[in-house]
């Protein structure tokens, strides 16, 4: 693939004459280049970003690092090659070097690239993968996480134990407590732990690092999605703060993450800074003078979708305050302004995902301008650089002033690849949902829309359930893939969705089949009334995770409108789910307790109890490595359909988890789903 650098615009793909317009396809989706993770140089003049390029034929992707001037006056230049990925870029404090993680040496290690010229040098040579890292403020040390056996005195011990297991003639594993499996991995006894290593005069790290998270029975950072944002250096480099949930026996049903402070020389054990909060504390960031710590905190133990409030802890007096208690949004991280007066954070907001700026002293908040979804950003003294997508555009790289004004495009991606693609236009609408409260949704026109036409509909139900499907470019459930085959698309942010106030989000707990179903029904009616081009007689409903649960629920409780259904990794039996899912806090919070304590709660909205009323053809999709909603849920759904004599298919992925990630599998998934929709909405079924 040719890369042309033209002025301030990075154009990907060979340029050729424009072809006749066409719809967006699954092949287009998986082949798109993806920009992410902007990082600003210390002087704010350069931005480094990651660019993921898929090799669909090889069924893999490689991420490289690029650098561009923030003023847009010089083109982007590639910093790392295409042979192996480079991720997690960080500038050295003096801005003369760029650090990054790469598996180019055979395992994931830290590398340093001199920006004035020269080849990248390997910084760490550990026998285990480096999972994440943070440079110390003076650039002379690194904090990083490795996965080790906690009772091992050195790294060699972990390596030997893994080797011994691999060579053993027995395969049985004996467990004494839960989290025997999590997300898509079975537990092997290792924990993520936090280490510190000094960087020598030659730039390489000490051979045997110092474990500073000693005496901590938990993962630093958390599994499976925690990262280096879970720990941070104090400004003087003498200590670190990290977030961790102490495991014990309650780990699978606890959301009690606390912040611990530890000397960087491990001269004393980590000390708990947030023991008074039994809920989730996360995302620590020091004030520049080191005397205060900013972080995010929830208030309700066991509730993973609780609101993350912004907190300030005085490290001298120990006093804690919430910075913006009346700001009814959930923070998505903390980035401090250069002058230390503001916190910048991304959050869901009425079907968008913008940046909010909160004044620390007063708690006054400001939503920065722009629509769509900000997926990542970096902040300097004079500039804000960010990636943002929308329902009609994959993420692009932008720059603006720190108040969001004077926005401009720094680099635009995939223009050549999408030059002949006509995206479906979209519009947000609102209606009176449950209890006559305002609910919002989106409608997307088919790519070939013509006034007066009627188009079949894909009605997509988002997962979470505390999530949102809004103005963003999704790489699994992308409305444009349906619009691209001539379907209109409708999706609703029902009660329980995020971005509409915490009360709205909370309202779904204990009521999975109640308020959300009413919102979906009223939203469907509102869309049909407002948009005459929707062919309500030829529509299919689709969803994954909670959306898959809802597909099973409406199969027995609202099946009248639908020609077909698609259920991806959806809950079939809420009672069985309560005993087989890995993160028990989720099921137990949503149902008000354990299965054995409140069995009636699990049965109230249990799709398994309504199979006798199923009648609509359903495609079931299930990944075998999905431990969130285990494979038996999908198999049970398919069994129920087959025994009822309902036309049905099962698409089973032995190598996928709760998502479908491999490029070729994604294409197969889309073709199976699209074929199912077309089969049941075609003229033969009208």
Please say if the pLDDT value at position 11 is more than 70.
Answer: no
Q: Clarify whether 33 is annotated catalytic.
A: no
Helices in 84-126 by DSSP H: which ranges? none
Please give the pLDDT value at position 9: 39
- The CA distance from 196 to 589, in Å, is 37
Split at pLDDT 50, 70, 90, the class of 7 is very low
Domain assignment present for 331: no
Do 435 and 408 have their domain in common? no
The mean per-residue pLDDT over the stretch 413-437 comes to 97
**In 303-411, alpha helices (H):** none
Starting at the edge strand found earlier in the chain, the sheet holding 210-211 runs 132-135, 141-149, 190-198, 210-211
Catalytic residue among 626, 636, 666, 670: 626
Residues 205 and 313 in one domain: yes
Residue 102 and residue 193 share a domain? no
Closest residue by Cα to residue 227 from 273, 186, 283 = 283
The pLDDT of residue 4 is 27
In this structure, the answer to whether residues 569 and 671 fall within a common structural domain is yes
Tell me which of 422, 457, 481 is where a domain ends.
Answer: 422
d(CA 238, CA 241): 11
- Same domain, residue pair 411 and 523: no
Instruction: Name the pairing type of β-strands 455-461 and 488-493.
Output: parallel
Asked whether residue 350 is assigned to any structural domain, the reply reads no
Q: Which of 397, 422, 447 is the last residue of a domain?
A: 422
Tens of pLDDT, residue by residue over 544-567, are 999 999 999 999 999 999 999 999
In a domain, 642, yes or no: yes
Catalytic residue among 356, 538, 658, 670: 658
For 200-211, b/e burial (b = at least 16 CB within 10 A) is: eeeebbeeebbb
Residue 68 DSSP SS3: strand
Q: Is 658 tagged catalytic?
A: yes
Q: Is 123 left (phi over 0), alpha (psi -120 to 50) or beta?
A: alpha
Q: What is the pLDDT at residue 265?
A: 97
**591 and 661 share one domain:** yes
Concerning whether 154 is annotated as a catalytic residue, the answer is no
For position 18, what pLDDT does the model report?
A: 59
pLDDT of residue 75: 87
**C-alpha Rg value of the chain to the nearest Å:** 25
Q: Is the pLDDT of residue 231 over 50?
A: yes
Please give the Cα distance from 532 to 527 (Å, whole number): 9
Q: Are residues 154 and 117 in the same domain?
A: no
Residue 17 has pLDDT above 80, yes or no: no
Structure confidence at residue 686 as a pLDDT band (50, 70, 90): low
Mean pLDDT across 4-28: 61
Residues ≥6 apart with Cβ < 8 Å to 447? 21, 22, 23, 24, 421, 422, 423, 424, 480, 483, 484, 486
Place of tokens 């999709």: 621
| Mean pLDDT calculated for residue range 5-19 | 42
Structure tokens at 216: 């901590």
| pLDDT over threshold 70, residue 684 | no
- Residues of the domain holding 104: 1-122+376-422
Do residue 417 and residue 445 come from a single domain? no
**Above 60 in pLDDT, residue 134?**
yes
Question: Is 547 exposed, middle or buried (CB count within 10 Å of its CB: 0-12, 13-18, 19+)?
Answer: buried
Residue 126 in 3-state DSSP?
A: coil
Reported as a single tens digit per residue, the pLDDT across 469-480 is 999 999 999 999
Cis peptide before 178 (omega within 30 of 0): no
Residue 331: pLDDT band (50, 70, 90) is very high
Give the pLDDT score at 19. 73
Task: Name the catalytic one among 92, 136, 282, 545.
Answer: 545
Percent of the chain predicted with pLDDT > 70: 97
Q: What is the pLDDT of residue 201?
A: 94
Place of tokens 């730039």: 203
> 306 lies in a domain?
yes
Residues 211 and 241 in one domain: yes
In this predicted structure, the answer to whether residue 47 has a pLDDT above a threshold of 80 is yes
What pTM, to 2 d.p., does this model score?
Answer: 0.95
Is there a domain that residue 316 lies in?
A: yes
Average pLDDT over residues 308-322: 98
Summarised one tens digit per residue, pLDDT across range 374-401 is: 999 999 999 999 999 999 999 999 999 9
Instruction: For residues 587 and 557, state if they share a domain.
Output: yes
**249: its two tokens:** 């026996």
CB contact at 8 A, 439 and 495:
yes
Strand pairing class (181-182; 335-336):
unpaired
Report pLDDT digits (tens) over 446-466. Answer: 999 999 999 999 999 999 999
How many structural domains is the chain composed of?
3
Residues 55-68 have a mean pLDDT of 95
Measure the CA–CA gap between 393 and 400, rounded to whole angstroms. Answer: 19
**Paired tokens of 311:** 């907190």
Q: Which of 302, 276, 274, 296 is nearest to 284 (CA)?
A: 296
Which tens digits make up the pLDDT trace of 594-612? Answer: 999 999 999 999 999 999 9
Using an 8 Å Cβ cutoff, are 242 and 213 in contact?
A: yes
Write the DSSP string, 498-544. SSS-HHHHHTTTT-TTSHHHHHHHHHHHHHHHH-TTEEEEEEEEEEE
Is the Cα torsion angle 214, 218, 223, 229 positive or negative in sign? Answer: negative
Please report whether residue 191 resides in a domain.
yes
Q: Are 34 and 98 in contact (CB under 8 A)?
A: no
pLDDT at residue number 1 = 25
Q: Which of 231, 239, 274 is nearest to 256 (CA)?
A: 274
Are 334 and 310 within 8 A, CB to CB? yes
448 shares its domain with 575: yes
Among 322, 345, 363, identify where a domain stops: 322
| Residues 207-228 pLDDT 10s | 999 999 988 999 999 999 999 9
Q: Are 205 and 197 in contact (CB under 8 A)?
A: yes
The continuous run of DSSP H or E covering 39 comes out as strand 34-40
Q: What is the separation, in whole angstroms, between the first and last Cα of the chain?
A: 44
CB neighbours of 378 closer than 8 A, spacing ≥ 6? 38, 39, 40, 47, 335, 384, 385, 386
User: DSSP letter at 367?
Assistant: E
On whether residue 355 sits in a domain, the answer given is no
205 part of a folded domain: yes
CB neighbours of residue 198 within 10 Å: 14
335: helix, strand or coil: strand
Number of separate helices (H) and strands (E) present in the chain: 11, 40
Average pLDDT score over residue span 84-106: 97
Pairing between strand 185-186 and 455-461?
A: unpaired
Co-location of 171 and 191 in the same domain: yes
Taking the C-alpha atoms of residue 180 and residue 192, their distance in angstroms, rounded to an integer, is 16
For residue 258, is pLDDT > 60?
A: yes
More confident residue, 528 or 686: 528
Q: Judging by beta carbons within 10 Å of its beta carbon (0-12, 13-18, 19+), is residue 510 exposed, middle or buried?
A: middle
Concatenate the DSSP letters of all residues of 142-200 into one string.
EEEEEEEETT-SSHHHHHHHHHHHHH-S------SSS-SEETTEE--SEEEEEEEEEB-
DSSP secondary structure letter of residue 421: B
Asked if residue 221 has a cis previous peptide bond (ω within 30° of 0), the answer is yes
Distance CA(479)–CA(677), nearest Å, equals 14
User: Does 501 score more than 50 pLDDT?
Assistant: yes
Mean pLDDT score of the chain, rounded to an integer? Answer: 95
Is the pLDDT at 5 greater than 60, yes or no? no
pLDDT at 74: 85
């Amino acid at each position: 693939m040719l890369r042309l650098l033209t002025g301030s615009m990075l154009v990907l793909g060979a340029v050729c004459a424009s072809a006749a317009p066409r719809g967006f396809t699954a092949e287009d989706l998986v082949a798109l280049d993806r920009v992410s993770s902007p990082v600003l140089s210390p002087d704010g003049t350069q931005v480094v970003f990651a660019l993921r390029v898929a090799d669909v034929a090889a069924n893999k992707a490689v991420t490289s690092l690029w650098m561009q001037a923030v003023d847009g006056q010089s083109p982007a230049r590639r910093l790392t090659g295409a042979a192996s990925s480079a991720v997690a870029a960080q500038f050295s404090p003096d801005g003369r070097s760029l650090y990054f993680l790469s598996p180019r040496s055979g395992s994931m290690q830290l590398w340093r690239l001199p920006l004035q010229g020269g080849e990248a040098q390997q910084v760490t040579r550990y026998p285990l993968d480096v999972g994440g890292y943070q440079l110390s403020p003076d650039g002379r040390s690194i904090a990083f996480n490795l996965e080790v056996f906690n009772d091992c005195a050195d790294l060699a011990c972990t390596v030997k134990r893994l080797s011994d297991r691999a060579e053993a003639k027995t395969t049985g594993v004996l467990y004494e407590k839960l989290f025997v499996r999590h997300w898509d991995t079975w537990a092997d006894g290792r924990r993520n732990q936090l280490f510190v290593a000094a960087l020598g005069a030659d730039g390489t790290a000490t051979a045997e690092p110092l474990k500073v998270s000693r005496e901590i029975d938990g993962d630093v950072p958390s599994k499976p999605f925690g990262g280096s944002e879970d720990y941070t250096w104090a400004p003087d480099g003498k200590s670190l703060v990290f977030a961790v949930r102490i495991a014990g026996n309650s780990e699978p049903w606890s959301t009690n993450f606390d912040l611990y402070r530890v000397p960087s020389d491990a001269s004393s054990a980590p000390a708990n800074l947030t023991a008074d909060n039994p809920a989730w504390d996360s995302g620590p960031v020091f004030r520049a003078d080191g005397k205060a710590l900013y972080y995010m905190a929830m208030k309700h133990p066991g509730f993973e979708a609780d609101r993350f409030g912004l907190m300030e802890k005085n490290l001298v007096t120990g006093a804690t305050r919430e910075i913006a208690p009346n700001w009814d949004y959930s923070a998505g991280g903390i980035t401090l302004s250069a002058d230390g007066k503001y916190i910048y954070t991304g959050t869901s907001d009425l079907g968008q995902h913008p940046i909010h700026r909160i004044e620390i002293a007063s708690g006054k908040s400001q939503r920065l301008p722009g629509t769509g979804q900000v997926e990542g950003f970096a902040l300097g003294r004079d500039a804000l650089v960010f990636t943002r997508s929308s329902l009609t555009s994959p993420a692009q790289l932008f720059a603006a002033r720190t108040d969001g004004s004077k926005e401009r495009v720094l680099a635009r991606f995939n223009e050549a690849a999408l030059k002949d693609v006509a995206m479906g236009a979209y519009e947000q609408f609102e209606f009176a949902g449950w209890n006559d409260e305002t609910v919002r949704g989106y409608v997307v026109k088919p790519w070939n829309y013509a006034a007066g036409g009627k188009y079949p509909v894909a009605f997509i139900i988002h997962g979470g359930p505390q999530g949102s499907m809004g103005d963003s470019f999704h790489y699994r459930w992308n409305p444009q893939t349906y619009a691209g085959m001539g379907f209109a698309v409708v999706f609703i942010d029902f009660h329980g969705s995020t971005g509409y106030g915490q009360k709205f989000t909370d309202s779904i707990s204990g009521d999975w089949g109640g308020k959300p179903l009413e919102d979906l029904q009223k939203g469907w009616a509102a869309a049909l009334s407002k948009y005459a081009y929707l062919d309500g007689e030829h529509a299919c409903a689709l969803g994954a995770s909670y959306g898959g649960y809802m597909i099973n629920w409406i199969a027995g409780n609202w099946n009248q409108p639908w020609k077909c259904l698609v259920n991806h990794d959806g809950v079939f039996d809420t009672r069985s789910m309560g005993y087989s899912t890995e993160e028990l806090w989720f099921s137990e919070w949503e149902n008000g307790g354990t299965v054995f304590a409140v069995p009636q709660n699990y049965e109230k909205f249990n799709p398994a109890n309504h199979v006798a009323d199923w009648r609509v053809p359903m495609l079931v999709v299930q990944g075998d490595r999905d431990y969130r909603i285990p494979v038996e849920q999908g198999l049970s759904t398919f069994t129920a359909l087959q025994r009822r004599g309902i036309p049905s298919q099962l698409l089973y992925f032995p190598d996928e988890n709760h998502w479908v990630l491999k490029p070729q599998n994604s294409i197969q998934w889309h073709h199976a789903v699209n074929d199912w929709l077309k089969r049941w909405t075609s003229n033969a079924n009208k």
